[in-house]
C-alpha cells in the first residue's frame, strides 16, 4: 500500500516551510514532527482540550482538527514559538503567564498562550468575567484556572503599558483578523452532562 | 546576607522555557525514532484463541509485530507486584502483552513497530485477534456477589482483606448512648493528566564505557519515578542496573497515575529498541489513557458510629469495599490510606476498620492525587454531619468536640500507615483550623445569608470538611549540590517533577543555605545519571524528602568549603561565615574568598582550560610539599551529597468550606464560594503552594460534580474521551479563597510538610455537605450531577431519602471565632490574604463568584 503524498507550503512564524505529507496528516503532527515545532502540544486529538491551538491567519484554531493540506491554503500560521518579538522579547501573554503562576506542568500552556494572544489583541480591556469566558474552551488539569484568568487580565495590562496607553491593541501575532477570534476554540464539541 | 528565599513567593525558574514553547516533553524527543502502537483488547473478559498479523504485512513502513509468544525469560513473567502486603490474598498483575487471557478493555495484546505512528496504527488495525468472549465483572456489587470471577483459578474476587482495630470498636458502638449507621458510595474518576504516558528508548552498542560487552539502554519515560523505572526495566530485560539510564523529561502532569511502573509499554518499548537496535517511541493517545492507564476512587463504605450527647465519638466501625480493577500492580496502598486517613483530625474512641479489595473487569486502580483520602474524608465528614444532625448540634461544634488538641501532639492513632510505620501525627493545631475556616467562610453569618436567599426564592447551603494528610513518606530521597568554578551551583535530586516547581523551591532552599543568588542555582530532577538513589514523586513528598535532602547536602558542602576557606584565609573555620557568594571572616568582608575560588581550590588540576582552572594547576600558588594535593580524607570538588530518611510521615491538615446554590427547577449546582484553610508546615514558596491548592481544588470539584467513569455491564468504558468525560473548564471551577497556617513539622530540618495533594482531598465531602444543606436531605453518594440531584429530590419527596433537620444557627464559631467575620460577599479577612501581601501584578481576587 502506498499512500499518495502532497507537497505543501506552510508559512509558520513568518518562515516558509515545505513538507511532503499524506492528505490525512494533521496540522498538529505536521508542525510537531515534520517541521520540528514541538511547542504545540497534543492532549486529546479530538478537538476538546485546546492544547494544540495555533493561530491560522491570526485566528485560534485547533491544529488537531485541521489537516496540513488544508492549512497550506492559508497565508500564515503562528505557533507558541512565534509569539515572542523577533528580538526575543516575550509576548505579553508569555510574560503574564510567568508572573501570575498560570502554568504548572506547562503542557496546556502553548494552547492558552496562542489563544490569549489573539483574544487580548481583539479585546484589549477585558474584565474578569470576560477573561474567564475567553479561556473557557481550553483545558488545564493543573492550575484550577484562576491564575490563568489573572494572566489574561495581566496580558491586557502589559499590552496597554507597552502601547503607552495609546489604546492601540498589541499587533502581534498577526495583523490579519476578523474580530471573531476565540469562536473557533469556544465551539469545542461537548456532550451535555447537565453542566451549569 | 542576601534576602531569605525560603518563604518568598518567587516566580518559577521553569517558566521562561515552558512559555517559549521550549519545553521538552516525551513526544517532543526522538524525532528519528520508529513508532510503537498497541493492539488492545476490545473485550473486558476473553480468551485469546489466535492472533493473525498476515493482513498487516503489506502496510508500508511496518517493521515488526510482537505478541506474548515473542517474549521469554522475565519478560514472559507477569509484571511485578510493586508493593507486597500481608493482606493480599491473591495478587494478579498483567503480562507485558496478554498471555492467553485479557481482563479489561484496553489491555495490550500485541505491539506493532513501524516507521511512523500512522503506519503503526494502520498495521495495528489490520491485526486480527480471535477472542473467545467471556462475561465481565463490573462494579462492586458484581465483584462481591462473585457469580463469576475476574480471574481464572480464583474462588471469589477478593484480592486483599485487612482488619485494623484499636480497642473494641463494635462493643463501644453498641454501648454508646447514641449510634448511627451510614451507607456511602464514591464513584470512579482518574487523574487524567493532559499529557498521557509515553516511553522512548534507545540501545547503545557496547564500548568500554558501558561496562560489559552488552550495550547500554537509555530510556526516557513520562513517569513519576526514574529510579523505579530503571530498576524495573533492568530486571525485566536482565540488564545490570549500570546498563540502564532513565531520564525523565518535562512531564505534562502526573497526579499519581505515572507513579505506576513498569507499565507494559514501559518494558515493551525498551525491549523492542534493544531487539531491533533502533530507537523506539510510544506516545499514549487519549483513548489509550482512559482504557489502559489507571483510575481511582470507587468505594462502598458502611460506617457505624457511637457517640455521647456532646457528639464525641466513642466508637467507630467502618467497612470498606474497594474496587481495585483487573490487576493489583500497586498493591493495596489506596484502601490502606482510606482506612487510616479516614480518622482525619479526630479521636474516634475505639476504631475498627475492615476492607476488602476486589477485582473487577476494569482498568486498574492505583493512587490518584489524594490516594484514598478523599473517600476516607467523605466517610468521616459525612459521619460528623450525621452526628450533628442527630443531636441537633452545630456541625462545626461537633467537629470541635472530636479534634485532637495541640497539647496532645505527637498523637498516636495506634494504626500502621501506608508506609508500614506508625500513624503518629507530628504536629498541628486543629481547633485553630476550625476557628479559621469559620472566620474565612463566615460560618456564623451564613444563617442570615440563607434567610435572605430564601426570601429571594434561592436555595443555598454551606458545608465543611476537614482532613489530615500523611505526607512526605520515606524511605528516603537524596540531594547532590555542587559549586562549579564559575560560582554556579548545580543541584540534583532523584525524584521527578510534573509541574510542582521543584526546580524553583529546591533552588530557594540551596540559595539560602549557601547564601548565593537564586539565579545561580540550577536544579536537575529525575535523571538517574545525576542521582541514582531515589524513590519517586508521590504522597506529597517532594518538598519534605528532596527539600530536606538538598538542604543537608548543601550543609555538607558548606563544611567542606569552610575547611578549604579556613586554609586559604588562614583563619579558624569557626570564625567564618557565608555571605553573598563568599566565605568571610565573620563580620569582616575584606577577609573573604569567593565560593567560586573555593571551588577552584577544591579540585587541584594538571591542565588549565580557562583562567579559573589555571589557578588550580600544579605550578600556580604556593604548594605545601608535606601534604598531597587533595588532603587526606577529602575528595576533589566542592560538592556535598546527603539523604533525608524521615522517621515517619509528616501530617499536614486543613479544612474546606463550600457555599453552593442549587437551582430549584433545574437542579443545577453552582459553587458560590470555596474557602480553604491549609497547613503544610513552613511554606517554602507560598505562590507555588497556592497553585497546588487551587489545582487540587479544581480536581476535587471535578470529582464531586462532573467526572466519573461510565462503565457498562460488559466492561466497556462509555466515556473514554474528553468529549464525554467532563473534565471541567474555567467556567466550572470557582476561585478559591485560601488562608494559611504554618505549624512546623519537627521531623525534618526545614519544618515542612507536603502540599501537593491537599486541595483535592476534602472537596467531595465539603460539596456533598453543602448540597445536602441546601436541599434538606441526606447526600451519601458522590459525584452528584444535576440529574442525580433531581432524582434525589423526587425520591426524597416520595419518602425514600431521609431529611436532614433544619440546622441550628450557631451563635458563634467553635471556641468563639471572630464575631466580625465577613458576609459571604465581602472581601476575605486579613488572615485569608496570601502571605506575600497584595501582589500589584495580580488583579484582586473577588471573594465570591457571584451568579452570572
Ligand atoms: S489536541 Fe487538539 S484539542 Fe486536544
Ligand atoms: S499547567 Fe498542566 S495542564 Fe495546564
Residue among B147, B127, B125 nearest B136 (CA): B147
Given a cut of 60, whether residue B816 has pLDDT beyond it is: no
Is B222 part of the contact surface with chain A (CB cutoff 8 Å)?
Answer: no
Residues constituting chain B? 852
User: What number is the average pLDDT over the span B310-335?
Assistant: 97
Taken in order of first residue, the domains within chain B and their CATH numbers are 32-134+194-292 (3.90.1170.50), 299-473+647-809 (3.30.365.10), 476-644 (3.30.365.10)
Residue among A56, A167, A156, A50 nearest A111 (CA): A50
B424-446: b (≥16 Cβ within 10 Å) or e: bbbbbbbbbbbbbbbbbbbbbbb
For residue B627, name the pLDDT band (cuts at 50, 70, 90): confident
User: What number is the average pLDDT over the span B406-431?
Assistant: 95
Given a cut of 60, whether residue B839 has pLDDT beyond it is: no
For residue B836, name the pLDDT band (cuts at 50, 70, 90): very low
Cis ω for the linkage preceding B81 (within 30 of 0): no
Atom of ligand 2 nearest to the CA of A103: 1
Q: Which residue has the higher pLDDT, B598 or B822?
A: B598
Atom of ligand 1 nearest to the CA of A52: 2
Do B535 and B622 form a contact (C-beta atoms < 8 A)?
A: no
Percent of chain A as helix, strand, coil, to the nearest 5:
35, 15, 55
Out of A1, A80, A101, closest to residue B12 by CB: A101
Distance from CA of B193 to the nearest CA of A (A): 6
Query: Would you state the pLDDT for residue B624?
Result: 78
Given a cut of 70, whether residue A67 has pLDDT beyond it is: yes
Is A70 part of the contact surface with chain B (CB cutoff 8 Å)?
Answer: no
Residue among B808, B849, B803, B828 nearest B450 (CA): B808
% of chain B exceeding 90 in pLDDT: 87
Q: Answer whether A108 sits within 8 Å of B194, measured CB to CB.
A: yes
Do B169 and B352 form a contact (C-beta atoms < 8 A)?
A: yes
CA atoms within 13 A on the CB side of B542: 28
Kindly give the residue spans of alpha helices, DSSP state H, lying in B177-239: 226-237
Given a cut of 50, whether residue A112 has pLDDT beyond it is: yes
Do B591 and B569 form a contact (C-beta atoms < 8 A)?
A: yes
Given a cut of 50, whether residue B851 has pLDDT beyond it is: no
d(CA A28, ligand 1 centre) in Å: 9
Query: Would you state the pLDDT for residue B535?
Result: 94
Given a cut of 80, whether residue B843 has pLDDT beyond it is: no
Grid cell of B652 as nine digits: 499536614
Measured in whole angstroms, how far is the alpha carbon of residue B756 from the centre of its chain?
Answer: 6
Distance CA B338, CA B186 (A): 12
Given a cut of 80, whether residue A145 has pLDDT beyond it is: yes
Distance from CA of B311 to the nearest CA of A (A): 36
Tell me if A107 CB under 6 Å of ligand 1.
no
The burial class, CB within 10 Å (0-12 / 13-18 / 19+), for B594 is middle
With residue B661 as reference, give the H or E element that holds it: strand B650-662
pLDDT tens-digit map of B242-264:
999 999 999 999 999 999 999 99
SS3 B798: coil
Cis ω for the linkage preceding B142 (within 30 of 0): no
Q: Answer whether A105 sits within 8 Å of B727, measured CB to CB.
A: no
Tell me if B194 CB under 6 Å of ligand 2.
yes
Q: Answer whether A103 sits within 8 Å of B500, measured CB to CB.
A: no
d(CA A90, ligand 1 centre) in Å: 24
Query: Would you state the pLDDT for residue B607?
Result: 86
Query: Would you state the pLDDT for residue A186?
Result: 36
Is B670 part of the contact surface with chain A (CB cutoff 8 Å)?
Answer: yes
Given a cut of 70, whether residue B711 has pLDDT beyond it is: yes
* A–B interface: beta-carbon pairs under 8 A: 215
% of chain B exceeding 70 in pLDDT: 94
Comparing B39-43, B97-101, B395-399, B577-581, the range with the smallest average pLDDT is B577-581
Query: Would you state the pLDDT for residue A196?
Result: 28
Given a cut of 60, whether residue B618 has pLDDT beyond it is: yes
Given a cut of 90, whether residue B705 has pLDDT beyond it is: yes
Structural Rg of chain B based on CA atoms: 29
Residue of A nearest to B850 (CA): A129
Q: Which residue has the higher pLDDT, A72 or B614?
A: A72
Q: In what order do the strands lie in the sheet with B158-166?
A: B158-166, B350-359, B313-325, B299-307, B178-186, B781-782
Is A14 part of the contact surface with chain B (CB cutoff 8 Å)?
Answer: no
Out of A46, A84, A128, closest to residue B20 by CB: A84
Distances (CA, A) of B83 to B93, B336, B770: 12, 12, 37
For residue B206, name the pLDDT band (cuts at 50, 70, 90): confident
Given a cut of 60, whether residue B316 has pLDDT beyond it is: yes
Atom of ligand 2 nearest to the CA of A141: 3
Out of A1, A36, A135, closest to residue B730 by CB: A135
Mean pLDDT of chain B: 92
Kindly give the residue spans of alpha helices, DSSP state H, lying in B665-762: 686-701
Given a cut of 90, whether residue A34 has pLDDT beyond it is: yes
Atom of ligand 1 nearest to the CA of A48: 3
- Give pTM, 2 decimals: 0.92
Distances (CA, A) of B357 to A49, B330, B331: 34, 12, 10
For residue B814, name the pLDDT band (cuts at 50, 70, 90): low
Query: Mutate which of A38, A39, A41, A42 to test ligand 1's pocket (most atoms within 8 Å of Cβ)?
Result: A42
Pairing of strands B244-247, B216-221: parallel
Query: Would you state the pLDDT for residue B698?
Result: 98
pLDDT tens-digit map of B713-746:
999 999 999 999 999 999 999 999 999 999 999 9
SS3 A129: helix
Distances (CA, A) of B116 to B61, B62, B277: 7, 9, 16
Query: Would you state the pLDDT for residue B622?
Result: 65
Given a cut of 60, whether residue B819 has pLDDT beyond it is: no
User: What number is the average pLDDT over the span B184-207?
Assistant: 96
Comparing A178-187, B428-437, B593-602, the range with the smallest average pLDDT is A178-187
Comparing A125-134, B269-278, B788-797, B799-808, the range with the smallest average pLDDT is B799-808
pLDDT tens-digit map of B663-691:
999 999 999 999 999 999 999 999 999 99
B193 vs A contacts (CB less than 8 Å):
105, 107, 141
For residue B337, name the pLDDT band (cuts at 50, 70, 90): very high
Distance CA B177, CA B643 (A): 51
With residue A151 as reference, give the H or E element that holds it: helix A146-162
Given a cut of 60, whether residue B810 has pLDDT beyond it is: yes
Taken in order of first residue, the domains within chain A and their CATH numbers are 5-82 (3.10.20.30), 92-164 (1.10.150.120)
Residue among A80, A190, A189, A101 nearest A145 (CA): A101
Query: Would you state the pLDDT for residue A30?
Result: 98
Query: Would you state the pLDDT for residue A165?
Result: 55
Amino acid at each position: 500500500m502506498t499512500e499518495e503524498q502532497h507537497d505543501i507550503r506552510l508559512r509558520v512564524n513568518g518562515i516558509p516551510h515545505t513538507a511532503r505529507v499524506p492528505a490525512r496528516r494533521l496540522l498538529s503532527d505536521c508542525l510537531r514532527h515534520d517541521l520540528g515545532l514541538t511547542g504545540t502540544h497534543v492532549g486529546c486529538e479530538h478537538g476538546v482540550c485546546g492544547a494544540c491551538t495555533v493561530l491560522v491567519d491570526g485566528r485560534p484554531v485547533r491544529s488537531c482538527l485541521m489537516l496540513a493540506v488544508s492549512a497550506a491554503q492559508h497565508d500564515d500560521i503562528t505557533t507558541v514559538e512565534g509569539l515572542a518579538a523577533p528580538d526575543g522579547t516575550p509576548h505579553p501573554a508569555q510574560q503574564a503567564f510567568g508572573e501570575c503562576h498560570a502554568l504548572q506542568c506547562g503542557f496546556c500552556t502553548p494552547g492558552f498562550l496562542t489563544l490569549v494572544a489573539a483574544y487580548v489583541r481583539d479585546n484589549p480591556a477585558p474584565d474578569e468575567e470576560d477573561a474567564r469566558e475567553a479561556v473557557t474552551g481550553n483545558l488545564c488539569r493543573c492550575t484550577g484556572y484562576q491564575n490563568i484568568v489573572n494572566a489574561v487580565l495581566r496580558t491586557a495590562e502589559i499590552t496597554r503599558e507597552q502601547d503607552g496607553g495609546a489604546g492601540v491593541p498589541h499587533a502581534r501575532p498577526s495583523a490579519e483578523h476578523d474580530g471573531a477570534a476565540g469562536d473557533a476554540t469556544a465551539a469545542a464539541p461537548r456532550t451535555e452532562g447537565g453542566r451549569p | 546576607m542576601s534576602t531569605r528565599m525560603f518563604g518568598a513567593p518567587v516566580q518559577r525558574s521553569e517558566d521562561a522555557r515552558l512559555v517559549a514553547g521550549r519545553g521538552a516533553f516525551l513526544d517532543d524527543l526522538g524525532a528519528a525514532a520508529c513508532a510503537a502502537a498497541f493492539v488492545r483488547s476490545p473485550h473486558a473478559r476473553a480468551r485469546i484463541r489466535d492472533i493473525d498479523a498476515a493482513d498487516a504485512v503489506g502496510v508500508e513502513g511496518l517493521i515488526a509485530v510482537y505478541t506474548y509468544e515473542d517474549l521469554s525469560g522475565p519478560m514472559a513473567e507477569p509484571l511485578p507486584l510493586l508493593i507486597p502486603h500481608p493482606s493480599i490474598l491473591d495478587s494478579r498483575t498483567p503480562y507485558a502483552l496478554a498471555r492467553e487471557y485479557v481482563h479489561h478493555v484496553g489491555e495490550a495484546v500485541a505491539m506493532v513497530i513501524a516507521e511512523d505512528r500512522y503506519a503503526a496504527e494502520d498495521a495495528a488495525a489490520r491485526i486480527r485477534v480471535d477472542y473467545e468472549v467471556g462475561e465481565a465483572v463490573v462494579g462492586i456489587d458484581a465483584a462481591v456477589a462473585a457469580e463469576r470471577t475476574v480471574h481464572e483459578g480464583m474462588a471469589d474476587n477478593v484480592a486483599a482483606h485487612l482488619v485494623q482495630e484499636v480497642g473494641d470498636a463494635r462493643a463501644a458502638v453498641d454501648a454508646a448512648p447514641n449510634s448511627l449507621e451510614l451507607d456511602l458510595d464514591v464513584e470512579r474518576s482518574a487523574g487524567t493528566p493532559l499529557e498521557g504516558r509515553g516511553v522512548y528508548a534507545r540501545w547503545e552498542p557496547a564500548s568500554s564505557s558501558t561496562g560489559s560487552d552488552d550495550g547500554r539502554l537509555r530510556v526516557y519515560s513520562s513517569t513519576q519515578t526514574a529510579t523505579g523505572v530503571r530498576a524495573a526495566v533492568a530486571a525485566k530485560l536482565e540488564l545490570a542496573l549500570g546498563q540502564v539510564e532513565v531520564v525523565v523529561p518535562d512531564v505534562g502532569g502526573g497526579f499519581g497515575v505515572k507513579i505506576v511502573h513498569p507499565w507494559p509499554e514501559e518494558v515493551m518499548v525498551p525491549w523492542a529498541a534493544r531487539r531491533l537496535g533502533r530507537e523506539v517511541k510510544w506516545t499514549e493517545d487519549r483513548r489509550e489513557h482512559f482504557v489502559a492507564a489507571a483510575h481511582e476512587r470507587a468505594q462502598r463504605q458502611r460506617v457505624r458510629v457511637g457517640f455521647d450527647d456532646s457528639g464525641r465519638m466513642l466508637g467507630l466501625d467502618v467497612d470498606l469495599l474497594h474496587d481495585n480493577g483487573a490487576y493489583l500492580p500497586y498493591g493495596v496502598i489506596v484502601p490502606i490510606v482510606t482506612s487510616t486517613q479516614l480518622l482525619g483530625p479526630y479521636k474516634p474512641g475505639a476504631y475498627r476498620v475492615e476492607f476488602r479489595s476486589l477485582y473487577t473487569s476494569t482498568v486498574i486502580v492505583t493512587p490518584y492525587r489524594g490516594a484514598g483520602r478523599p473517600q476516607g474524608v467523605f466517610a468521616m465528614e459525612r459521619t460528623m454531619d450525621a452526628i450533628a444532625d442527630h443531636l441537633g448540634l452545630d456541625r462545626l461544634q461537633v467537629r470541635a468536640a472530636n479534634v485532637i488538641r495541640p497539647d496532645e501532639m505527637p498523637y498516636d492513632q495506634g494504626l500502621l500507615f501506608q508506609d508500614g510505620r506508625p500513624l503518629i501525627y507530628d504536629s498541628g493545631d486543629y481547633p485553630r483550623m476550625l476557628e479559621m475556616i469559620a472566620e474565612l467562610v463566615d460560618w456564623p453569618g451564613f444563617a442570615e445569608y440563607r434567610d435572605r436567599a430564601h426570601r429571594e426564592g434561592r436555595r443555598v447551603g454551606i458545608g465543611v470538611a476537614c482532613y489530615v494528610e500523611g505526607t512526605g513518606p520515606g524511605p528516603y530521597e537524596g540531594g547532590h549540590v555542587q559549586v562549579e568554578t564559575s560560582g554556579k551551583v548545580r543541584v540534583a535530586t532523584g525524584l521527578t517533577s510534573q509541574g510542582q516547581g521543584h526546580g524553583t523551591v529546591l533552588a530557594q532552599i540551596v540559595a539560602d543555605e549557601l547564601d548565593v543568588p537564586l539565579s545561580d542555582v540550577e536544579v536537575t530532577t529525575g535523571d538517574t545519571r545525576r542521582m541514582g538513589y531515589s524513590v519517586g514523586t508521590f504522597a506529597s513528598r517532594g518538598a519534605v524528602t528532596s527539600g530536606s535532602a538538598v538542604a543537608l547536602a548543601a550543609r555538607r558542602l558548606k563544611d567542606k568549603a569552610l575547611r578549604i576557606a579556613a586554609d586559604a584565609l588562614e583563619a579558624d573555620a569557626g570564625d567564618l561565615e557565608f555571605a553573598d557568594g563568599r566565605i568571610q571572616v565573620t563580620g569582616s568582608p575584606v577577609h573573604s574568598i569567593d565560593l567560586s575560588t573555593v571551588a577552584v581550590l577544591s579540585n587541584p588540576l594538571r591542565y588549565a582550560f580557562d583562567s579559573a582552572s589555571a589557578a588550580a594547576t600544579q605550578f600556580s600558588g604556593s604548594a605545601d610539599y608535606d601534604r598531597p594535593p587533595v588532603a587526606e580524607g577529602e575528595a576533589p570538588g566542592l560538592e556535598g551529597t546527603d539523604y533525608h530518611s524521615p522517621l515517619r510521615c509528616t501530617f499536614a491538615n486543613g479544612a474546606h468550606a463550600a457555599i453552593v446554590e442549587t437551582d430549584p427547577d433545574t437542579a443545577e449546582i453552582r459553587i458560590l464560594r470555596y474557602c480553604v484553610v491549609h497547613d503544610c508546615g513552613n511554606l517554602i514558596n507560598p505562590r507555588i503552594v497556592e497553585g497546588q491548592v487551587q489545582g487540587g481544588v479544581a480536581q476535587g470539584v471535578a470529582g464531586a460534580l462532573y467526572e466519573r467513569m461510565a462503565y457498562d455491564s460488559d466492561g466497556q468504558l462509555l466515556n473514554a474521551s474528553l468529549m464525554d468525560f467532563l473534565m471541567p473548564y474555567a467556567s466550572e471551577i470557582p476561585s478559591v479563597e485560601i488562608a494559611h497556617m504554618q505549624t512546623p513539622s519537627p521531623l525534618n530540618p526545614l519544618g515542612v510538610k507536603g502540599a501537593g495533594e491537599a486541595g483535592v482531598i476534602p472537596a467531595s465531602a465539603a460539596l456533598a455537605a453543602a448540597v445536602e444543606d441546601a436541599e434538606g436531605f441526606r447526600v451519601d453518594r458522590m459525584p452528584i450531577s444535576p440529574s442525580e440531584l433531581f432524582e434525589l429530590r423526587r425520591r426524597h419527596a416520595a419518602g425514600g431519602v431521609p431529611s436532614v433537620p433544619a440546622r441550628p444557627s450557631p451563635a458563634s464559631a467553635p471556641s468563639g471565632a471572630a464575631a466580625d467575620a465577613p458576609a459571604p460577599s465581602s472581601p476575605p479577612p486579613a488572615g485569608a490574604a496570601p502571605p506575600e501581601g497584595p501582589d500589584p501584578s495580580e488583579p484582586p481576587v473577588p471573594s465570591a463568584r457571584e451568579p452570572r
